[in-house]
Amino acid sequence: MSIDWITVVAQIANFLVLVWLLKRFLYRPILDGIDAREAEITRRMSEARKAQEKAQAAEAGYRKQQARLLADQDAMIEQALSATENERDTLLAAARAKLEQEQKEWHKHLERERHKFTAQLQRAGEETLLELTRKALHDLADDTLEEAIVRHVSKQLQVIAGELSHAAGDSTEAVASTRDALPEAARLRMQAEVEKLLPGMTLRFATDPQQAPGLILRVGGAQVAWTIDSYTDEFDALLDERTSARVSGRMQNDNG
């Protein structure tokens, strides 16, 4: 066991060279590579963290926007519901008004129809009554209706001749109005009665198709008349009473 000092010196030199070589070709590249890789990992982690923060911020923004949209949606739904209710109320009110209007018009129509029917019925009643009266007078008394009317009016004229004379005032003309022209005999009788009861008063005969059957004598502001209206009015009242009773009974039966 001996030490070769030349070899020792050479080995020291070799070792120092090896230290330098390994430092240059092993330690530094490896450690620098590790450091660079760690720096790269740190950088990527930092980028990932930033990207994550950015994503979280974007997510928060989207969530906020979603909440706002939901709130807007609720408000829009609420508004639409309110508008729908208003529209429905408006349409219902319009429908009700229209219905009421139609009901009113229908009632008016019914009323007009009733009046029309009543008028027709009255006219028919008048005609019938007139014919019956005329036929009864002819059969029983061999008389005409017009002459009977003239006689009736003459009687009334005798009762109120004074009042008519007073009511006539300055007027010197009396008008005898009928729906149809009076027969000549009836005219003469009527004219004679007027000349007798109202001296100085001239009589003029007139026809009015709208007038009820009968005779109306107008002297100034007063008049004396016999028309079939009073009879047909009673007939109408009787019909109305009967009709109302029948309708009431029908409604009671329907409800029962």
Partner 1 sequence: MQITPDEVIVFTIWGLDVNATIVNTWIVMALLVGISRIITRNLRADVPPGRWRTALEVIVTAIQSQIEEITEKSARHVMYFAGTLFLFIALSNLLLVIPAFSPPTSSLSTTTALALSVLVAVPLFGVAKKGVRRYLKSYIEPSVVMLPFNIIGEFSRGISLAIRLYGNVMSGAVIAAILLSIAPFFFPVVMNMLGLLTGLIQAYIFGILAAVYISTATADPEPSAHKEDYL
> Taking CB under 8 A as the rule, does residue 39 contact partner 1?
yes
Q: Return the amino acid letter for 230.
A: S
Q: For residue 174, give every residue at least 6 positions away whose Cβ sits within 8 Å of its Cβ, in sequence order, or none.
A: 168, 194, 198, 201, 202, 203, 204, 217, 218, 219
Determine the interface stretch with partner 1 among 17-25, 158-166, 188-196, 228-236 (rule: CB under 8 A).
17-25
| Min CB(26)–partner 1 separation in Å | 4
Residue 11 and residue 13: Cα distance in Å, rounded? 5
**35/78 with CB nearer partner 1:** 35
Query: Contact with partner 1 (CB under 8 A): which of 16, 80, 185, 245?
Result: 16
Q: Would you count residue 22 as binding partner 1 (CB under 8 A)?
A: yes
**Subset of 142-161 contacting partner 1 (CB under 8 A):** none
Say which residues have a Cβ less than 8 Å from residue 121's Cβ, sequence separation at least 6: 236, 239
Q: Which is nearer to partner 1, 41 or 206 (CB)?
A: 41
Which residues are within 8 A (CB) of 144 and not within 5 positions of it... i.e. 6 or more apart?
Answer: 134, 137, 138, 183, 186
* Helices and strands (H and E) in the chain: how many: 6, 4
Residue 7 makes contact with partner 1 by CB under 8 A: yes
Contacts of 185 (CB under 8 A, 6+ apart): 147
Partners of residue 203 on adjacent β-strands: 174
**Shortest separation between residue 73's beta carbon and partner 1, angstroms:** 49
Q: With contacts defined by CB under 8 A, name the span among 26-34, 96-104, 156-164, 181-189 that binds partner 1.
A: 26-34
Among 4, 139, 170, 254, binds partner 1 (CB under 8 A): 4
Interaction site with partner 1 (CB under 8 A): 1-12, 14-19, 21-23, 25-27, 29-34, 36-37, 39-40
